[in-house]
Amino acid sequence: MDGARAASRLRVVLGHLGCPSAGAVIAHPTSGAVPSASFHPQFQYTRDNNVLSLEQRKFYEENGFLVIKNLVSDADIERFRNEFERLCRQEVKPAGLMLMKDVTIAKSKYAPSEKVITKAQDFQEDEELFRYCTLPEILKYVECFTGPNIMAMHTMLINKPPDSGKKTSRHPLHQDLHYFPFRPSDSIVCAWTAMEHIDRNNGCLVVLPGTHKGTLKPHDYPKWEGGVNIMFHGIQDYDENNARVHLVMEKGDTVFFHPLLIHGSGQNRTQGFRKAISCHFASADCHYIDVKGTSQENIENEIVSLAEKLYGVKDGVSLKDVWRFRGRLVKGQRVNL
């Protein structure tokens, strides 16, 4: 192929990819149309800024997740751990906070403590824990996926308990987007930070690389003999042949992942409570969608009836209202969400 034909061929390919820099190729036909070092095929899942290396960007584009080692300091993690213990002992009761127990002990009457609570959810009104969602080192990376207007939409401190033998400490394989009535999905990212060494023994995250390129799958409760925790929906039919990667992480390591990435976590075979802190961020430019008539309708119904039960909210409340109420701006402008 001569230079002119090669350039024309590349234009066609780039045109198909919707790449705006295709024009640059036309402008420099004599350059032989060889992509320069700074030229990248259009990236879909990451934004142009100088935070991620080209290698890191390519990794996220291909795999749907990216681990940044040693991102959160030991001192901060110590503070999150202390505050979590205070919340479990109910020394403080921030508005909206939900404390979850494992299904195997949900109906028992243990005094709340960090050995009973498996998850503290919605800590947006707890100043000490919410610091996690405002850490500059976290937001610096989040911005690579969401752009500059950033909302913290969902917060959790997960305290995976030693498994009772019923395997209820597992989290079934799922896509977080199932829970979210906002789009586009490419402007949403989860940050998940290990608060200690986490591996297959204490139930690390398991991810199916590349599945962020697929669509949202229907979710429902898995049919597990030993029971399943409330709202732990899973994907019924995923590709059994897809590679599974166990993310072994050290204290402070943080994984950023796409809301369509299929992931879960295994059982905790140790006697310790495995801790991680996480936040789902979204671009404030995202918009809400109506999930009625979609596969997300089942979780909407569950969440809305819980909201009615817990907060006495009535008729006409939708999933969107629940999320609008819980979301917090952490950077830039609150545009839509």
Ligand X SMILES: CCCCCCCCCCCCCCCCC(=O)SCCNC(=O)CCNC(=O)[C@H](O)C(C)(C)COP(=O)(O)OP(=O)(O)OC[C@H]1O[C@@H](n2cnc3c(N)ncnc32)[C@H](O)[C@@H]1OP(=O)(O)O
Ligand Y SMILES: O=C(O)CCC(=O)C(=O)O
Q: Which residues bind ligand Y (CB under 6 A)?
A: 156, 158, 160, 171, 176, 205, 263, 265, 276
> What is the spatial distance between Cα 132 and Cα 137, in angstroms, rounded to a whole number?
10
What residue number has its CB nearest to Fe ion?
Answer: 176
Contacts of 53 (CB under 8 A, 6+ apart): none
Stretch that binds ligand ATP, among 35-43, 128-136, 152-160, 168-176 (CB under 6 A): 168-176
Work out the end-to-end distance of the chain between its first and last CA atoms, rounded to an integer number of angstroms: 50
Residues 172-211 vs ligand X: string with x where CB under 6 A?
Answer: ----x--x--------------------------------
Q: Which does 98 bind (CB under 5 to 8 A by kind): Fe ion, ligand Y, ligand X, none?
A: ligand X
200 part of the interface to ligand ATP, by CB under 6 A: yes
Residue range at the interface with ligand ATP (CB under 6 A); choices 7-15, 117-125, 180-188, 264-272? 264-272
Q: Give yes or no for residue 176 binding Fe ion (CB under 5 A).
A: yes
- Output the DSSP codes for 126-181: -HHHHGGGG-HHHHHHHHHHH-SSEEEEEEEEEEEPPP-SS-TT-EEEE-GGGG--
Residue sitting closest to ligand ATP (CB): 264
- Residue 154 in contact with ligand X, rule: CB under 6 A: yes
Least spacing, CB of residue 125 vs ligand ATP, in Å: 30
Please report, for the chain, how many H helices and E strands are present, in that order.
Answer: 8, 16
Per CB under 6 A, which region of 97-105, 170-178, 301-309, 326-334 contacts ligand ATP? 170-178
Instruction: Classify the C-alpha dihedral 249-251-253-259 as positive or negative.
Output: positive
Angle between helices 297-311 and 319-326 (to 10 degrees): 60
Is residue 126 part of the contact set for Fe ion (CB under 5 A)?
Answer: no
For residues 131 and 72, the answer to whether their CB atoms sit within 8 Å is no
Of 210, 237, 165, 186, nearest to 47 (Cα)? 186
Choose the contact partner of 279 out of ligand ATP, ligand Y, ligand X, none; CB within 5 to 8 A by kind.
Answer: none
Among 51, 230, 243, 335, binds ligand X (CB under 6 A): 230
CA nearest neighbour of 86 among 157, 189, 35, 144: 157
Positions in the binding site for Fe ion (CB under 5 A): 176
Positions in the binding site for ligand ATP (CB under 6 A): 170-173, 200, 206, 222, 264-267
